[in-house]
Structure 1
Amino acid sequence: MNHDVIIIGGSYAGLAAALQLVRARKSVLIIDAGQRRNRFASHSHGFLGQDGVEPAVIARTARDEVEAYPTATFVEDMAVAISGEKDQFSVLTKAGENYRGRRILLATGVADELPPIDGLAERWGQSVFHCPYCHGYELNEGQIGVIATGEMSTHQAELLTEWGQVTLLVNGAFALDATARRSLEDMGAVIEETPIDKITGVADVHLTDGRVLSFAGMFTASRCSPSTPLAEDAGCALEETMMGIQIQTNETKETSVTGIFACGDTARIPHSVSLAVGDAAMAGVMVHRSLVWP
């Protein structure tokens, strides 16, 4: 069967795009490996109509809605290669299956590269976060730690003063100049330059001088990149952003390869469920239009 569209990635973005396409009665195959980026978080916030709901519940509800349409097909597998061209694409999966489609939509999300600090990865999505709009409110204006990853961390720390008392943990990530130091201090942030040894408890930071700083929660700017090499291997151009590498797309969400589109966190910044869903809904519309007016 030659599907109208093959969507690679069946999380929030992939499902939002799929919904637009199946409502246009297009044949849509969604290939999903089940690795949602926010699978470590217990609750999702800031998404209208689903605020505070468990991420897995949101994803399951969304999938149920898409599956209700007869032109939607789901495959639980991992896409490993894309070949062909517009109207004649082929997607190979890890299980060895080949699927054909007229258009490809990449909604694969991103992988987070975290600072190499003992205890941080285990708390990612639980008490260490990247988005204040998603998790800042729940910290109840308490003590907030920001683990620096580069100069942009000063802006993250400044923004987070809206949600609580902030301590910027420089941790040797960069040299803090006088202008940035003054700006942080003017906004009430505390600057801590002693390196971090480890993180324990909910968000207890052990410094190398023996002190322990306890926080209600912590934030850090992970460096992001597409979660799979599919786009690059298919010839799609990538671009560098302040948050890492993403797939380059134009105003219609099409990549540099004709007939391959991309949406969600893998193709835009900043990142959140709401923004990914909105971006993907537009991508679904644009993919449909490319089928109507090829």
Structure 2
Amino acid sequence: MINQKHFEVIIVGGSYSGLSAAMSLGRSLRQVLVIDSGLPCNRQTPHSHNFITQDGEKPQVISAKAKLQVDFYETVQFYNGVAVSVIKKESGFEIKTESGKVFTAIKILFATGVKDLLPQISGFAECWGISILHCPYCHGYEVKKEKTAIIANGDMGFEYAKLISNWTKDLRLLTNGKSTLTLEQTQILQKHKIEIIEDQIESVAHENGNVEQIIFKSQAKITVKAIYFRPPYEQHCKLPEVLGCELTEQGLLKIDFMQKTTIAGVFASGDNSIQARSVAMAVSSGSFAGASINSELIQESFL
């Protein structure tokens, strides 16, 4: 039950980055509201890796433990819902939720993540985050030395293949259509025995999200244990753009070294503003954003 309408800071997004920022601000004695719908982007991923003290833990367990710890700080409150509008006022910001609740704050932190735009390939979405992976640092160890496919083309495909070859040599690059690799790139991949397949992909056969075969439109099939893919994405929440926050060429919220967006009083952390997507990176950026917001509030109180 929310017992107040005005806060010093409202955090939109209560996953790893938002919770990390909330802890930093709670420990700074700030009045904080965290608005979250409870649908993190990695909810389908069975295990989180490369996060010290939490390696191999289920994402839901990490977030539940984090929320319990943040809830210890009495100045931090939680609202389960979706923020649907935001207005910049002279004294700060007004946020309205889907249920019609209105809250105000001096500062806003958007820790809202991005939305992956997955290809319309049968079986792909069901395997995403389980056996179709984006990051070898997060998941490569678990599929090391296994028969692996990479879906990419051109320069990205070439660089991605080089990267993944650190974890397995049993690789094939699926360009999903005519290859746009240069002759030199093709020759280098062939030298390293990385097969290039230009057939278009029809579907991914799987068992409970664990990929078994890739089926092409030619009806050819290959058996693999894992697939790597870097999807395009868009901002999960459009409210920062409504406020006028600028985006980078990559579609991320543009922030400075203190994680301030291009709109005064608005900060961003996590996947919506950093390219390195992992739980550890999200936690780090959230912690720093919380400290940055607190520092700005202190400075303004001394004016």
> Which of the five TM-score ranges fits, normalised by the shorter chain?
over 0.9
1:169 aligns with 2:174: yes
2:188 corresponding residue in structure 1: 183
**Residues of 1 paired with 2:153 and 2:272: CA distance?**
20
Q: 2:111 aligns with which of 92, 96, 107?
A: 107
Counterpart of 2:155 in 1: which secondary structure? coil
1:61-100 paired onto structure 2 within 5 Å: 61-85=65-89, 87-100=91-104
What per-residue deviation string (whole Å, max 9, x for no partner) do you get for residues 106-129 of structure 1?
000110011222211111111101
Amino acid corresponding to residue 9 of structure 1 in structure 2: G
Q: 2:233 aligns with which of 207, 224, 232?
A: 224
**Residues of 2 paired with 1:134 and 1:19: CA distance?**
24
| Percent of pairs with identical residues | 34
**Residues of 1 paired with 2:233 and 2:153: CA distance?**
12
| Structure 2 gaps, min length 5 | none
Counterpart of 1:151 in 2: which secondary structure? helix
Please tell me whether the aligned partners of residues 149 and 222 of structure 1 are also in contact (alpha carbons under 8 angstroms). no
1:10-159 paired onto structure 2 within 5 Å: 10-85=14-89, 87-148=91-152, 151-159=155-163
2:261 corresponding residue in structure 1: 255
Q: 2:223 aligns with which of 207, 214, 218?
A: 214
Amino acid corresponding to residue 196 of structure 1 in structure 2: I
**Residues of 1 paired with 2:71 and 2:123: CA distance?**
39
Q: TM-score, normalised by structure 1?
A: 0.95
Please tell me whether the aligned partners of residues 86 and 103 of structure 1 are also in contact (alpha carbons under 8 angstroms). no
Amino acid corresponding to residue 195 of structure 1 in structure 2: Q
Counterpart of 1:257 in 2: which secondary structure? coil
Query: Following superposition, which runs of at least 4 residues in structure 1 exceed 6 angstroms of deviation?
Result: none
1:279 corresponding residue in structure 2: 285
Change (3 A) 1:65 1:215: same
Aligned alpha-carbon RMSD (Å): 1.4
| Structure 1 gaps, min length 5 | none
1:226-245 paired onto structure 2 within 5 Å: 226-241=235-250, 245=251
Instruction: For residue 230 of structure 1, report the CA deviation from its aligned partner.
Output: 0.9
Q: TM-score, normalised by structure 2?
A: 0.92
**Residues of 2 paired with 1:173 and 1:86: CA distance?**
55
Q: 1:194 aligns with which of 178, 182, 199?
A: 199
Instruction: For residue 208 of structure 1, report the CA deviation from its aligned partner.
Output: 2.3
Instruction: For residue 174 of structure 1, report the CA deviation from its aligned partner.
Output: 5.1
Instruction: For residue 254 of structure 1, report the CA deviation from its aligned partner.
Output: 0.6
Counterpart of 1:68 in 2: which secondary structure? coil
Change (3 A) 1:82 1:190: same
Instruction: For residue 86 of structure 1, report the CA deviation from its aligned partner.
Output: 6.5
